[in-house]
Structure 1
Amino acid sequence: MHRLRMAVLAIALTLLLLALLLSATAHADAPTSVSFTPLLTQLEVASGSSAQFTVVLRNDSPTDRLECSIYAADIMQRPDGQYGLQPAGSASHSLASMMRLSANRASVEPGGSFAVTATVTAPWGEMGGRYGAVVFEVDPDPREPGAAASTAVVQRFMSAVEVTITGRQTSKRLDIVGFAVSTAEDKPAYAMRYGRDVVVLGAEVRNSGDIHVFARGSMVLRSAEGRRLLETPIGGGRGIVLPGATVALEAVLPDGLAPGSYVADLAVSFDGSRPVTARVPFVVGQGDDDGARPPSVTAIAPLSVLPAELELSYSAGATVTRAVTVENRSGQQVSVTCSTTDVDVGNGRVAPSCRGWIKLWPEAFVLQPGARQTVQMLLAIPGGVWGGRYAELVFAADPVGADWSSESTTRIHLTVGRDQVVSGALSPVFIEAGGPTVGSIIGVAFANTGSVHVRPHAVMQLSAGSLGEWTVLHSVDLGEEQQPVLPGEVREVLVSMMKPLEPGTYRVEFRVDVGDGGEPLSAVREFSVEPQEATPRDVAPNVRKVREERGDMVD
């Protein structure tokens, strides 16, 4: 079952990763005691409009005044997923040039605070993601009286900003471009934490789109004979990958691997898309006499396949032709094989299919580095059919003279005929304990019970009850889902509540508009929180019951 949107959850996870957002260089003997909030701001701004946010700096020193300059900068993303500062205007997706600050200096008394308001203005015609930071640079003090300025200590603190400029459809693209096998010798920090036997397996992913994506990966490790050994998540940082960045998603194996040959099956999904995949063989511990082996790094050639989605609407009996462009964006020659497959909607189901109606040519070809190939698609719709039909065009890349492989896809969304049935159903609201890093998760499952794909728009509202009246505490607009929900598919709408609720009575309502012009679907649940309870009462029985119900929603 896919998850519809976890925007609030993603924000909550950022609070746990200060290393991503704090950039400071300071002498150990003279630190400045400061704090600021928020660590991260996420904004949506329409093209041609503005939005504001505020960053508050606090001087935690009981005795010293804080003097600092304030300015906007761009940010870049390192392979470990962390952010670093860049000069304003130097990044390809610069935000600093669009951001104006209410102050450029601050003088803060001991125990005091200072608020800076930032205004982000998106020019007309701009779209996609822009990234930057509000930087507080503490005035340097010489380490000793009379010391040269070059010996001054400089502290910089940054509050990162991720902006999505809405408007025309943005391009989301993620490729697996490399695979690395590292040992304790390659990663001393891992060796100190996990021991000398540790092996780190990592997939390098590159965002070649124009907006950040949330990447989640998994790896199935097999023997050279194909026997399945283990399956493990792979990740790095918050999972966010900025446009133009290459980030390592890693799995740490503390006990290492026995010497021998292996195969890694990699799958990385992002923002509800079909996972990008790669299969990479590798060898462990068959190098020098002492069993050591240099780190194994495999480059994986990314294929660019455009368009990534074809939205088609025709009558029964029609014949449709479309062209798909496949580009080899690497320095390796690759052999490409074209095929079609059904679209998996979970729980062993596939969406109504048009796979058998499609022919592709050429079916196989070789691409030189940087070359392109146009693949023609012929789709012949039989007579007497109706409703939504779906398929994936799969382009499998195998490098000439190497052993790895990868896949890229184009999804077909075909609507046959008129007067489609647009309908859906919601499960009862469920509440789950997500642990200390996530908090309580409140959600509902949406099932597409109609004849055609939909892009539902979900809103969650949480209210507190007192004396028979309800007061709205939170209203979260999760927006319209970019990846449509196909007929027969069930997805979850989730909101994370990091802050524990005070004792009392609450009501949560989810409203989901499926785009049929009627009233939104609604699911409501009332619950109570008792003193010293970490999660609402009766959560576990309800979760079990709801999961059973939503598993059968489209049977």
Structure 2
Amino acid sequence: NVMWQVGEYWQRVTSAEFREVGIIPGVKLNLESDLKRRLPSGEYKLRGTLYVDGRRIRPLVKEIEFVGDPTVSKVAADTSLILEPSTLSIKAVPGGTRTAGIKIGSLSEEAVNVSVDVEVPKSFRGTSLGELKGEDLSCAEWVKVVPDDFTLRPGRHRNIRIITRLPKNEKIYPNYYAILNFHATYTDGQSAGKNTSLILLENAKIKAKPAAQIIKASLAAEEGSRYIIRTKSSNVGDVHFTPECKAIVTKPDGALVLESALSGQRHVMLP
């Protein structure tokens, strides 16, 4: 997160995400991200959060005196794009077309331009499960947004149509998915933030079969008498779900030691 000091307070400017990477002991990574905006000089606070195997590490906070663009006097902070609904579920039959709607609102005190694009979910790219490729479950090519470019006035909202078609393919699956990206920019072209919506296209002719698999589980000692249970799971079915995990620790004779819910980054798990 990037924050800018305004008087006695810190105002959030934007945040940047970095792709998940593997790292071996002794290696240092230099990660960069384009904030897509010009910043004026001033006091800024940077807050970095790192997740290792789904567990959040203590964040790093750093305050800096930043020398920015002398032609800019105002920070182009991210605005909040409100999407209703944030997850859009659509049911269709092969060969059919369905239309649904999303209402978009802005909390900005200025007008913002919004453009919308559709993409394959990142978790599908370059992945496979047996003969099933991740891209086979994408409906990005079957989705049309109308309109896909418009202006939101302060305090106003806009309704857009999401037109989806489910073609008759040789390979037919119970569910298909796509991501809608909503990009906001101020009238001077600087970024005003981004929001996303998940499209769930359900095939009404096939029943889904949810299935999960625990790939890895480990018990690690920390300071004192604290222990951490870590697990890695996978959605091996053909439908999304929101996971809830718990761990049970027993003695060799089967006697229960403890039972505990597991915490981490909770979100919808796609197939």
TM-score normalised to structure 1 length: 0.36
Question: Residue 48 of structure 2 aligns with which residue?
Answer: 234
Question: What letter is aligned with 1:318?
Answer: G
Identify the residue that residue 115 of structure 2 maps to in structure 1: 337
1:443 CA displacement: 2.2
Q: How far did 1:348 drift?
A: 5.0
What do you get for the CA RMSD once the two structures are aligned? Answer: 4.0
1:421-432 correspondence runs (5 A): 421-432=209-220
Counterpart in 1 of 2:251?
A: 464
* Structure 1 counterpart of 2:174, from 387, 396, 414: 387
Indicate if the aligned counterparts of 1:202 and 1:234 stay in contact, CA closer than 8 A: no
Distance 1:431 1:448, change over 3 A: same
Whose Rg is larger? 1
Give structure 1 stretches of 5+ with no counterpart.
1-175, 188-200, 206-214, 226-231, 236-248, 260-282, 288-292, 488-555
> Is 1:360 aligned to residue 157 of structure 2?
no
SS of residue matched to 1:429: strand
SS of corresponding position for 2:245? strand
- Mapped to 2, the partners of 1:422 and 1:442 lie a distance apart of 25
What is the one-letter code of the residue matched to 1:312? I
Residue 316 (structure 1) aligns with: 94
Partner Cα separation in structure 2 for residue 420 and residue 389 of structure 1: 11
Equivalent position amino acid for 1:414 in 2:
L
C-alpha deviation, 1:379, in angstroms:
0.1
State the SS of the aligned residue for 2:141: helix
Q: Over residues 112-157 of structure 1, what are the superposed CA-to-partner deviations in whole Å (9 max), with x where a residue is unaligned?
A: xxxxxxxxxxxxxxxxxxxxxxxxxxxxxxxxxxxxxxxxxxxxxx
Structure ranking higher on relative contact order (CA contacts 8 Å, 6+ apart): 2
Counterpart Cα distance in 2 of 1:441 and 1:382: 47
8 A Cα contact 2:88 2:198, kept in partner? yes
**Could you say what secondary structure the match of 2:242 adopts?**
coil
| In structure 1, distance between residues paired with 2:60 and 2:155 | 28
Q: CA deviation at 1:485?
A: 1.5
**CA displacement 1:70-125 (0-9 Å, x = unmatched):** xxxxxxxxxxxxxxxxxxxxxxxxxxxxxxxxxxxxxxxxxxxxxxxxxxxxxxxx
Instruction: Describe how 1:380-529 pairs up with structure 2 within 5 A.
Output: 380-384=165-169, 385-401=172-188, 403-416=190-203, 417-432=205-220, 436=223, 439-465=226-252, 469-478=253-262, 483-487=267-271
- 1:338 to partner: Cα distance: 1.3
Aligned to 1:203: 12
Structure 1 SS opposite 2:229: strand
Percent identical across equivalent pairs?
18
1:370 and 2:155 are equivalent in the alignment: yes
Aligned partners of 1:316, 1:410: CA distance in 2, in Å?
A: 23
Distance apart, 1:324 and its partner CA: 0.5
Query: Which residue identity is paired with 2:112?
Result: V
Question: 1:352-371 CA deviation, whole Å, 9 max, x = no partner?
Answer: 20000001111111111011
Deviation, structure 1 residue 339? 1.1
Cα 1:448–1:203 change in 2 (3 A) is same
1:433-479 Cα shifts (integer Å, max 9, x gaps): 5x5599532122221122222333422111234xxx33322212459
Alpha-carbon spacing, 1:250–1:374, altered in 2? closer, same or farther (3 Å): farther
**Which stretches in structure 2 are left out of the alignment for 5+ residues?**
19-30, 38-45, 50-58, 128-133
Q: Residues 379-432 of structure 1, C-alpha deviation per residue, up to 9 Å, x if partnerless?
A: 011013323211011111111135223111210122223133332322242234
Q: Deviation digits for residues 9-41 of structure 1, max 9, x if unmatched?
A: xxxxxxxxxxxxxxxxxxxxxxxxxxxxxxxxx
SS of equivalent to 2:209: coil
| C-alpha distance in 1 between matches for 2:225 and 2:147 | 48
Q: Which aligned pairs between 1:137-216 and structure 2 lie closer than 5 A?
A: 180-181=3-4, 203=12
Structure 1 residue 483: Cα displacement:
3.1
Q: Which residue of 1 aligns with 2:62?
A: 252
Q: Assess, with a 3 A threshold, how the Cα gap between structure 1 residues 446 and 360 changes in structure 2: closer, same or farther.
A: same
The whole-number CA distance in structure 1 between the counterparts of 2:159 and 2:249 is 51
Q: Of residues 295, 299, 306 in structure 1, which corresponds to 2:77?
A: 299
Amino acid at match of 1:406: G
In 2: Cα distance, 1:418 partner to 1:310 partner: 19
**CA deviation map 1:478-510 (0-9, x unaligned):** 59x9733111xxxxxxxxxxxxxxxxxxxxxxx
CA contact (8 A) 2:249 2:257 kept: yes
2:22 counterpart residue number: none
Instruction: Kindly indicate whether the alpha-carbon contact (under 8 Å) linking 2:76 and 2:190 is maintained by their aligned counterparts in 1.
Output: no
C-alpha distance in 2 between matches for 1:216 and 1:478 = 27
TM-score, normalised relative to structure 2: 0.69
Deviations along 1:242-288, one digit per CA (max 9) or x if unpaired, are xxxxxxx984167x66x4xxxxxxxxxxxxxxxxxxxxxxx16x59x
For 1:23-172, list aligned pairs within 5 A.
none
